[in-house]
Homo-oligomer: A and B are copies of this chain.
Amino acid sequence: MDELTHINQSGKATMVDVSEKQTTTRTAKAYGKVILGERVFRLVANNNVEKGDVLTTAKIAGISAAKKCSDLIPLCHNIFISKVDVELQLNEKDFSVEIFSFAKTTAQTGIEMEALTATSIAALTIYDMCKGVDKSLVIKDIHLLSKTGGKSGEYSYTGLEKEEE
């Protein structure tokens, strides 16, 4: 498959017609992280220890955003979502918050964009709450971890071709 599915013969944007595709259960997992730096990391970690609202606010933002996915991405379908989950984990090694999103549907097309949107908006929400302290936070490595279901079947991320060389 060496053609962009969302572009027609004339190079114009086009929504894929999914009406002939199978209605099957499909899932997607996405990942991303926000590099906080040590100072912000400590504040967020303290808030988390005290079971404050930082991570929960980002989680709720991510879940809500998954449901707005087709309103944000022009050529994305408005599918029914069976489940979205967003988990945030503090990683002291690189002073980051790691974001793991999961989305599931029973539909004629996949749910990758919903999982990636949940991750992206959760990351932006972290940025928003921390920017008063440090504006240099960086959102990194947002990508699909895996997917199941649909004609193309299972997929697991193994790095972008030649990316790591």
Contact = CB atoms under 8 A, between A and B. Distances in A.
A54 interface: yes
Contact of A80 (B78, B127, B161): B78
Contacts of A11: 47, 50-53
Interface string A119-133: 011011101111111
A85 B37 CA distance: 29
Interface in A51-72: 51-54, 56-57, 59-61, 63-65, 67-68, 70-72
A38 B136 CA distance: 30
A74 B56 contact: no
Interface string A1-16: 1111111001111111
A144 B139 contact: no
A56 B1 contact: no
Nearest to A103: B15
A121 B139 CA distance: 13
Interface in A117-153: 117, 120-121, 123-125, 127-144, 147
B161 A13 contact: no
Contacts of A59: 12-13, 53
B132 A163 contact: no
A125 B61 contact: no
A91 interface: no
Interface of A: 1-7, 10-19, 25, 32, 35, 37-39, 43-44, 47, 50-54, 56-57, 59-61, 63-65, 67-68, 70-85, 104-108, 112-113, 116-117, 120-121, 123-125, 127-144, 147, 155, 157-163
